[in-house]
Amino acid sequence: MAAVFPSSPQLFAPSRPAGDEQPILSADMHPPIDLEEDLDRFRAEIRAYLKPDDAAQVESAYHFSAEAHRGQYRTSGEPYVSHPLAVAGTLAGWRLDAQALTAALLHDVMEDTAITKVQLAEHFGKTAAELVDGVSKLDRIEHQSYEEAQAENFRKMLLAMARDVRVILIKLADRLHNMRTLDAVPPAKRRRVARETLEIYGPIANRLGLNGLYRELQELSFRHLHPMRYRVLVKAVRQARGNRREVVGKIMEAIKSRLPGAGIEAEVFGREKHLYGIYRKMREKHLTFSQVLDIYGIRVIVQDAPTCYLALGALHGLYKPVPGKFKDYIAIPKANGYQSLHTTLIGPYGTPVEAQIRTEEMNHVAESGVASHWLYKNEHGLSDLQQETHKWLQSLLELQSASHDSAEFLEHVKVDLFPGEVYVFTPRGKILALPRGATPVDFAYAVHSDIGNRCVACRVNFESMPLRTELRNGDRVEIITALAASPNPAWLAFVVTGKARAQIRHFLKTQQHGESVALGENLLGQALRAYGVASQDVDAGTWDRFLRESGPRSREQVLTDIGLGVRLPAIVARRLAELRDRHEPVVGTAAETRPNAILIRGTEGVAVQLAKCCRPIPGDPIIGMIRKGQGLVVHTLDCASLVKQRGERNDWVDVDWEPEVRGNFEIGLRVVADNQRGVLAKIAAAMADEESNIVNISMDDDRGVTTSLYFTLQVANRDHLARIMRRVRRIPEVVRINRTKD
């Protein structure tokens, strides 16, 4: 296939620099560099595995890219086309198909030149054009900050990846070459790109099983982010290499002679722990370099999985294993498809050495991950990996639908990019991989969003446990659900997976929206009455003028903002009253017309909250405060924290309890009692007799003649609380009882 170029010279006119590359458009600034050697090597590589027609298409894409980027230079001084050629070369090493290589060679033309997606589709097909579009950045909107623009670009790229994983493979190869040539950019930008790579692109490579790429991105990021620490570690490892090489050599020779004696054919390699791994271990465990002993490791490659376990037995017979340092990733693979046996052996002179035992196929998957779909053609062996990758990509779409903005979506993806460390079992014996620190709520959402939303309790290893219990390897988890249940906002304090956080927030925001509109309407109506204006008297024209002046999209948005405390109702009411009729005086004043109090049921949900500091219950004198992002927070009038929170008078709202309030409200009680056997049982029985539920009990550590017991109870109102307190006072051992408000 010959290279096809359109006749219009305007097609190749540069439009703007790329975000990371910033090509320089003056040819005089840098001498031309001969690319023929790199191009010949690339041609030879693609012709080795592509069909002739496909190879011709890729070469055509190179010529198209070279023409499009003519006159552009990288900040390092090389012709810009050297960058897409290097990216395509990395993909060719993974044996990716012609469409991916074509897209790699063209991945910057939409950003840096006037060429459009339609024109690319005409020349190279719809698939290649879609891949290029998936990798290309969005034009930054003027009011967006850099962080917002980056988050939106990540969102676009990750969603394109969910449709076609080749998008992220191109982007990772692009980032790898940028990192390899990062010395040419200013230090501030170098650090920003390195941090971004460490936080986003490295973990994505790891999640896709591209371990070789993952390690190189980590090393390059470490070198640019902490150059002094990197140089110190390089020097330390170089010095230690000579001291420990002899020991590792002896271990390798011993293993090479032992395995054939056990009837095992194997290849044995030595490997050195990469610098970032050493640095991270030193930081996490507060070690000096001399205390990090497992700098070197051994890799044993055998024929099949049963032989892996035979080799493990032979190694444990040769050197003693370190207890607790054995991991079987063959029986339970990592989420990215990685399989291997890991064990740490105590070699000569007490030197610990990590050994990895795996098959040739496992080794291919370990190094190339999802890219081994092209590189290693045993489809049967990769079916589980492909399924797991597909599930993760689909989960990105779920996160997208549950996240309200790009920054939130990116936050959830970042959480899920860290490797799963905990493997737990469903009641049917299925294994789920979850991040370290995961709870039964994370487990419930991992099974299904509906299970998480309706979760009310759990059993871990057949025992009822709190939902905030941290799961451990091997736990059997059973979730108990109820049809009327809904997510609890308190779950956000302990869930760790992105899916759980996104689904809980999505549910709460949906619920909060309806409540906030209703509350905002009440608050605005109350504020308007202070100006002698009824809500229904504000016509559509007045609202339109207010919206044009203030910027919100709709009346509903204004009411939502008022309900959430983002806007003050008094200010909105004053402006509406002024706009309602500029020529007529406002009827009434705040002094003449006192607004009616908003009635509180106590069960409104997330838009109306009962303050945790004073725990108001029906019958308590109360007042409301508007708090940004929280809505209306109800306090008792004698709440101690109100003194600290007194701000603008507009923040305060008159509220009162509805005449018939039903429900259970938590309060705190402190009971001082004689320190005698059975007193706690008597007090608990008295509370239960008055139909109160005890939520929590604690007591002072210093116990003498008397002790203080602290109860959290559920009561209906002040009368119910008074009956409970009278009942407890009758117990002879009780010295004093009082309600606590903090």
Residue 360 has pLDDT above 50, yes or no: yes
737 — pLDDT class (breaks 50, 70, 90): very high
Token pair 């207890």 is found at 323
Q: What is the pLDDT of residues 397-415, one digit of tens each?
A: 665 655 555 565 666 565 5
Neighbouring CB atoms inside 10 A of 533's CB total 22
Residue 675 binned pLDDT confidence (cut-offs 50, 70, 90): confident
88 or 386: whose pLDDT is higher? 88
Superfamily in which the 420-496 domain is placed by CATH: Beta-grasp domain (3.10.20.30)
- Read off the pLDDT of residues 462-480 as tens digits, 9 standing for 90 and up: 888 889 899 987 788 999 9
Q: What is the pLDDT of residue 397?
A: 60
Residue 60: pLDDT over 50: yes
Q: For all residues of the chain together, what is the average pLDDT?
A: 78
247: exposed, middle or buried (Cβ count in 10 Å: 0-12, 13-18, 19+): middle
Mean pLDDT across 265-293: 82
Interval 544-556 mean pLDDT: 76
Query: In terms of CATH architecture, what is 9-225?
Result: Orthogonal Bundle (1.10)
Output DSSP code: residue 33. -
CATH topology of domain 665-740: Alpha-Beta Plaits (3.30.70)
CATH 3.30.460.10 assigned to 234-377: yes
CB proximity list for 628: less than 8 A, separation 6 or greater: 564, 565, 566
Decide if pLDDT at 396 tops 70: no
Catalytic residues: 111-112
Q: Identify the pLDDT of residue 228.
A: 92
Q: Is the pLDDT of residue 139 over 50?
A: no
pLDDT at 615 over 90: no
pLDDT at 94 over 90: no
- 107, 277, 301, 339, 657 from 342: Cα distances, Å: 39, 16, 13, 10, 63
Angle at the Cα of 56 (from 55 to 58), degrees rounded to 5? 65
Q: For the chain, report the end-to-end CA distance as a whole number of angstroms.
A: 78
Q: Residue ranges per domain, the chain? A: 9-225, 234-377, 420-496, 505-657, 665-740
| Residue 12 contacts residue 115 (beta carbons within 8 Å) | yes
How many CB atoms are located within 10 Å of the residue 590 CB?
13
pLDDT at 669 over 50: yes
Stretch 483-505: mean pLDDT, rounded?
82
Which pLDDT score, from 0 to 100, does residue 204 have?
81
